[in-house]
């Protein structure tokens, strides 16, 4: 199993550009989520999904869109990039109903918005 994969690893955008961060998992996990990590702020949840076709907002959803058309994929779209979206983005997945199931994190995408 590849686990959770994210592409790209690095990206530089100009303000106003749009892009999609890709996330895929091959563990048949129901639950997938996107976090952003900023110094001193920890991991903040952007959007999450408890299954294909079901998504919900986390604590910092503004400026981001998600969709979940398949169990495996959970792309994160930046609609119009802003310097405040410079961050490291992590995708994670897990089973929902296994009480002690761990969340598996991808390696991250480092995004710089100029």
Partner 1 sequence: QQQVKQSPQSLIVQKGGISIINCAYENTAFDYFPWYQQFPGKGPALLIAIRPDVSEKKEGRFTISFNKSAKQFSLHIMDSQPGDSATYFCAARNERGSTLGRLYFGRGTQLTVWP
Which residues contact partner 1 by CB under 8 A? Answer: 4, 30-31, 33, 35, 40-45, 48, 50, 58, 90, 92, 94, 96, 99-100, 102-103, 105-108
Q: How far is the CB of 14 from partner 1 (least distance, A)?
A: 25
Query: In the complex, what is the shortest distance from the CB of residue 74 to partner 1, in angstroms, rounded to a whole number?
Result: 13
Pick between residue 14 and residue 100 the one whose CB is nearest to partner 1: 100
The DSSP-derived string for 16-47 is T--EEEEEEESS--SEEEEEEEETTTEEEEEE
| Residue 48 CB, nearest approach to partner 1 (Å) | 6
Which residue, 16 or 51, has its beta carbon nearer to partner 1? 51
Nearer to partner 1, 14 or 40 (CB): 40
The distance of closest approach from Cβ of residue 93 to partner 1 in the complex, given in angstroms and rounded to an integer, is: 10
Q: What are phi and psi of 85, to 5 degrees?
A: -90, 5
Contact 92, 37 (CB under 8 A): no
Contact of 113 with 15, CB cutoff 8 Å: yes
**What whole-number distance in Å separates Cα of residue 60 and Cα of residue 67?**
16
């Amino acid at each position: 199993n590849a686990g959770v994969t994210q592409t790209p690893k690095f990206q530089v955008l100009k303000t106003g550009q749009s892009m999609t961060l890709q996330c895929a998992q091959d563990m048949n996990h129901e639950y997938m989520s996107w976090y952003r990590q900023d110094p001193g702020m920890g991991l903040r949840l952007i959007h999450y999904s408890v299954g294909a076709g079901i998504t919900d907002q986390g604590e910092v959803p503004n400026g981001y869109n998600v969709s979940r058309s398949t169990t495996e994929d959970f792309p994160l779209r930046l609609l119009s990039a802003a310097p405040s979206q410079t961050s490291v983005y992590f995708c994670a997945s897990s089973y929902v109903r296994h009480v002690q199931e761990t969340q598996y994190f991808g390696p991250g995408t480092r995004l710089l918005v100029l």
